[in-house]
Amino acid sequence: MIGHEMSREAILAPLEIAGDLRTRVNISVRVRGGGYSGQASAVATAISRALTGWTKSKKEPTIREDLRKRISVYDKYLISGDARMKEPKKFGGPGARRRKQKSYR
């Protein structure tokens, strides 16, 4: 799936945090686009959201809150996702911020 060791560790981080819950679920994730690290963070976010959603359907609300707290202590973006996005291109230049240089000579 993903070749880099750091990406594998990022993917397995929510499962290590979950502890024994990971033995009770089967996980299958399909991801497209982006690079190794982008895909790894997307898979980690999906796994952590799926685990918290799965524990929400159980009768014990303390398990869900404990899992959410442990995940957010490890990395707060595993549940919420990273909100940074590419800045859109504006008129008057070739990119989002780059413009033509002015020469006053």
CB contact at 8 A, 104 and 97? no
Q: Which residues of 30-54 are buried (b: 16+ CB within 10 A; e: fewer)?
A: eeeeeeeeebbbbbbbbbbbebbeb
pLDDT at 24: 84
**Overall residue count recorded for the chain in this entry:** 105
Residue 79 has pLDDT above 80, yes or no: yes
**pLDDT at position 38 over 60:** yes
70: pLDDT confidence band, cut at 50, 70 and 90? confident
> pLDDT tens-digit profile of 27-37?
899 999 888 88
Q: Which residues contact 3 (CB under 8 A, 6 or more apart)?
A: 36
Q: Rounded to an integer, what distance in angstroms lies between the CA atom of residue 21 and that of residue 91?
A: 51
